[in-house]
Structure 1
């Protein structure tokens, strides 16, 4: 401070200038924060053989203990060989790293041991200002999320928790999670797939340019020099705006499948039974874009537009293993919450038996999401609810039922006149077959004319039997008690089966305090072979099918089976 006062220094960080004043003169000079950055050569550790049209990962030695550094390929190597070095950032651990090298020729090349393939530079500090939280935006979200809470004391308690983690609710700028496992793209040893940009209109090209510039500005993508190139295109949203998607079909064909399991939706919904009275649903904001991609694999995500070639810094939609990779990250970080929280990709549901317990659960979960720098999508979140929509079901303490909005969309469908429309109607209804006893038998006339081979599609005819089935199915959506209860472990389950030449099925129930409660319905159309079964064989088939399809409900329980065939 004495030095600054003595020479009357004025430091302008924004313009990167220093001004010195004395009695009769003023001197201004610029400074460069990168002027003294130190570069470290990256040398091959061993001799490397590079086959034609292949990408290999070569081990290199860098005289840095551990750091994430920028990488610049060697101009000498570029002049002496046609090799293409793909990285612009590398991670060094214990003075070792890996560089991706592509051989675009039809000849093999050998890279000698000890050759410098490029230089690395440790990033320097920058003068970028930290982005402040948009408190006005966050306050608005928190007010809407707590508006339904009638008790003022409870509402204040919830607000205090949310304000403590207000960064989670600031959607003014995207965030990327930290300290999570980056997405890896493991590929077979094939040449990098390439494509030309898709043809587009000038208006769409301008929209594409704006979207790309926004992604660049937020650091979600970067310019690329990769031999990979997948075409990007625009898809219209419901509101008339555009969304960019990338056609990764060629890359996906050479990507090794990630076998991390996705949760079973039926099992997830069943977990929510058991006396839980408070529910919260948390939706992640552009969930995939919050997961980083492994530095060595970013070049594989390269996509091409009319303006240039770019690659993703974050997990892109359309990649083969995006869902299991995202599920793994969320399951790993939320392991401490597994007793009261379930994750289905980017949807999280929290369930508790009391308000006080739910407060504790929400606080613990938000703390974990904050720790890893995740971001929520507040307009799609629901907190401290007695009834909640999750995975297209309405879930409460007593049981679950279909989402009313989806039922209305099916009810509003006009009667099919083509094969495509008939399949669309059946596809929409099949989601609710577990709520409708004998669904398969009712829908059999429609199944009969939709289950056609390619050669027989021209024989599609919508006649009186299909018309009656259509009306009956829609009537079931209106009049049937489309509500299923959670099983009670204190009572046996009752399986009632039925079978005919048309279809087989069964209804699983429990009798509790004299009232019969539906747990699950299952039915299917009989095949041409099964239609030739004797009645006793059909009844036995119905029981066997129900045991297979209802296994999660039946295991470990006392079972009573009702069938209308006496010999069984």
Structure 2
């Protein structure tokens, strides 16, 4: 433990950190939100104890319970935010190891809010929750303006301190677990512990690290604030110990300071059962009881525990002895669970979000209640597919053409799904508590691109829902048959409800008898064999309804939507999923004598030297002359950050040019695909760079991206490599240097003008890539190449290890099990996916001078390896035939050795690799 008198401020090395761009969504979990404080709370009376229905007179039993609670009135807190007494047995400590203190500068506050900020600080000082500080640490404050535009809320940004804090590992309860075992309860109490985290005292070290800087001075906390990294775990552990009684405070003198029972406590010798038989969720406690006598006993024991550990209860937020209570956003009663969002009205009336963050916030709010929304994943699929680039595009279109285009194309499906989800949360059904004495029944459903299932139980001849679950299908699952998709739905609900359904006999209602055959068959191979093995641990009776779905629906409650109506609604919200092959997006093309700009960029970095360089070259077409070329060097830069900085440098060089058509070229697949919105940007360091690039991109309405290999980007690569070697950038102005870059330029080979008489270029379309007969003279090399690519992609997606590895590389690890993730983690550093979704083997370069892209090897699936060898054999036989004679009809000396040279050139860019034993 560190005491302030032991600290020599002058001798401590201090790290000064300059503040950067701040987004509220990014620091939500790292902010200490400070409410308005008052020195005292209102006095409580016995009439303030809320028992039963407020409109019904109290019974004798209820009066007796109120008297019991009133005996512990010293634990009850009324209205107001006065500081409650400190809890016993828990102390907040912040362990940052040997990290040097971080001092961040005070953030400016608008003059009209300074007086209000001063009043908030005075309230904190009067409540004795903070005190002036001389700490070497300083975290900045964030002033949040309330909706009325006048009042403010004070927050503290603890991101830097939390990054250095060692994580305290403690299991937090799952909300789904806390809502179980309520089927027999008749009475409930919902309690809220007063002031939550503020009952926990701070160690001297924690006080110093929690210091925050304001325009009026430096202050530190005396009690544990919200926003600290380990605050939820510390408080949860305190309440768990109070409810279950693992440790007790040992014998000590009254002069000793606060004690941490988890370090200095003793094992509890009293072996009585736990007070409630269930955990709290931080400061929210639910007390269910099957009888009034049981409820009285539990409340009595809980008050004894609160008195022992000095835990206060908020009287205004606690309800005792009720038939139904609100708990964790749900209304709990003997009849079941209901969704009870606090902001339901605003959630239903919210307009269609205009940004990706707003859409993610909306989906996050609904995801909390997904068990109440039948087919939630089905309706939300099209909304989850939206990317930030989509919102930029629609915003740009609305500015250009008004609101007329707001309902065009893909936005129609998104808005329809958005409206449906709002309607479903407003009319969410009541879910029954799972009754272990009743037989569980599962109804599975599958469509072309999604599966769903409902766990139901029978009450008086009618099946009522217990929970809903659903998900969209992966690309490789879209080709499955309807029965196979129903198996996926069954596996999904068994996984979600595992703890509920384990060791129980289950009835499955289906429209197909094949599912029953799967349960009884032996010797199955492939995925059917794997599914049969997974289902073998369950005791299930599969019933096929003779009259189809109508027989099932005849017994379902009205809250479950008929499948026929669901299929009609799905037509309007179908996401961009298709099991058929698609012709990929062709590279940008230019017209003859078309005037446009081409911007090529590149980035490089060295891990050992902790520095990176980036470059950009602006070309003007049709002459292919250089308008501007520049490179820069920056310390502490990763490769991907260097690539993004190269793109930003392109926009900087383009700033003074006319806003015409521009093609942005780079050899970074990650940057190009993230800018296109094809993959998510999850790295915090890249999110801000991507956000800046998208803002710059808005000023160029006509733009296209082109990803290419490094050998086609030699000009930008040359500039970046030179800057990396010399560790300094330069601006290319000399004509001789520009001529060198023009000599290295190979972009003209990719961006060829369309010649008269050629076929129209192929653009991105959604037709099936079935074999179509063409005359030989009209089959273009580009189309043949794309068909071959699609064939290889399809074959790769049929091998499980390749599919798993692609899934891992795209960041979708939630769909993989632990064994698959472990295997993919070993392979991932040496594999990459290109823009065509082809998997390449890219071994790590042994020397820094080696070009990693030059070592790339195309992964040929086993199903194509024989065809590939036959093709190579045919080419070699033809080469051997012409080896000994010149080309017929030619006067030149072009002989067989030249054929071998041509053959090598033709296959030089198509290296291959076969899967190793560890990947099979």
TM-score (norm 2): 0.45
Instruction: Assess if the C-alpha contact under 8 Å between 1:158 and 1:359 holds in 2.
Output: yes
Find 1:494's aligned residue among 410, 423, 441.
Answer: 441
1:426 aligns with 2:374: no
**Shift of residue 530, structure 1, vs aligned partner:** 2.6
Instruction: Assess if the C-alpha contact under 8 Å between 1:277 and 1:396 holds in 2.
Output: yes
**Shift of residue 422, structure 1, vs aligned partner:** 4.4
Which residue is 2:628 aligned to? Answer: none
Which residue is 2:171 aligned to? Answer: 261
Distance across 2 between alignment mates of 1:534 and 1:565: 11
SS at match of 1:342: coil
Distance across 2 between alignment mates of 1:163 and 1:321: 34
Which residue is 1:373 aligned to? Answer: 310
Which residue is 1:466 aligned to? Answer: 414
Pairing 1:211-360 to 2, within 5 Å after superposition: 211-236=120-145, 241-271=151-181, 273-335=182-244, 337-340=274-277, 342-360=279-297
SS at match of 1:518: strand
Distance across 2 between alignment mates of 1:467 and 1:188: 50
Pairing 1:49-60 to 2, within 5 Å after superposition: none
Q: Which structure 1 residue ranges, 5 or more long, are not aligned?
A: 1-56, 59-69, 74-82, 86-100, 107-131
Which residue is 1:84 aligned to? Answer: 8
SS at match of 2:235: helix
Which residue is 1:50 aligned to? Answer: none
Which residue is 2:73 aligned to? Answer: 166
Pairing 1:533-548 to 2, within 5 Å after superposition: 533-548=480-495
Instruction: Assess if the C-alpha contact under 8 Å between 1:141 and 1:169 holds in 2.
Output: no
Distance across 2 between alignment mates of 1:519 and 1:143: 30
Distance across 1 between alignment mates of 2:226 and 2:103: 18
Q: 1:180 to 1:415 in 2, by over 3 A?
A: same
SS at match of 1:194: strand
Distance across 2 between alignment mates of 1:267 and 1:357: 22
Q: 1:244 to 1:443 in 2, by over 3 A?
A: closer
**Shift of residue 403, structure 1, vs aligned partner:** 0.7
**Shift of residue 484, structure 1, vs aligned partner:** 0.9
**Shift of residue 385, structure 1, vs aligned partner:** 0.8
1:103 aligns with 2:12: yes
Find 2:48's aligned residue among 129, 141, 155.
Answer: 141
Distance across 2 between alignment mates of 1:304 and 1:525: 48
SS at match of 1:529: helix
Q: 1:149 to 1:162 in 2, by over 3 A?
A: farther
Instruction: Assess if the C-alpha contact under 8 Å between 2:366 and 2:425 holds in 1.
Output: no
Instruction: Assess if the C-alpha contact under 8 Å between 2:12 and 2:100 holds in 1.
Output: no
Instruction: Assess if the C-alpha contact under 8 Å between 1:220 and 1:313 holds in 2.
Output: yes
Residues 53-79 of structure 1: CA distance to partner in whole angstroms, max 9, x if unpaired?
xxxx68xxxxxxxxxxx9756xxxxxx
Which residue is 1:476 aligned to? Answer: 424
Distance across 2 between alignment mates of 1:389 and 1:196: 43
Find 1:518's aligned residue among 453, 465, 477.
Answer: 465
Specify the structure having the higher radius of gyration (Cα): 2
Distance across 2 between alignment mates of 1:505 and 1:152: 47
Q: 1:156 to 1:72 in 2, by over 3 A?
A: same
Higher relative contact order (CA 8 A, sep 6+): 1
SS at match of 1:400: strand
Which structure is higher in helix share?
2
SS at match of 1:369: helix
SS at match of 1:379: coil
Find 1:179's aligned residue among 76, 83, 88.
Answer: 88
Distance across 2 between alignment mates of 1:348 and 1:418: 37
1:392 aligns with 2:329: yes
Distance across 2 between alignment mates of 1:322 and 1:135: 28
State how many pairs are aligned: 447
Which residue is 2:629 aligned to? Answer: none
Q: 1:219 to 1:467 in 2, by over 3 A?
A: closer
**Shift of residue 154, structure 1, vs aligned partner:** 3.0
Distance across 2 between alignment mates of 1:241 and 1:317: 21
**Shift of residue 411, structure 1, vs aligned partner:** 2.3
Q: 1:468 to 1:345 in 2, by over 3 A?
A: same
Instruction: Assess if the C-alpha contact under 8 Å between 2:276 and 2:287 holds in 1.
Output: no
> What RMSD over aligned residues (CA atoms) do the two structures have, in Å?
3.0
Instruction: Assess if the C-alpha contact under 8 Å between 1:291 and 1:326 holds in 2.
Output: yes
TM-score (norm 1): 0.71
Distance across 2 between alignment mates of 1:477 and 1:103: 55
Residues 395-438 of structure 1: CA distance to partner in whole angstroms, max 9, x if unpaired?
00121011165443332223456655544443333333322332
Distance across 2 between alignment mates of 1:253 and 1:143: 43
Q: 1:297 to 1:407 in 2, by over 3 A?
A: closer
Instruction: Assess if the C-alpha contact under 8 Å between 1:494 and 1:508 holds in 2.
Output: yes
Distance across 2 between alignment mates of 1:433 and 1:322: 28
**Shift of residue 469, structure 1, vs aligned partner:** 3.0
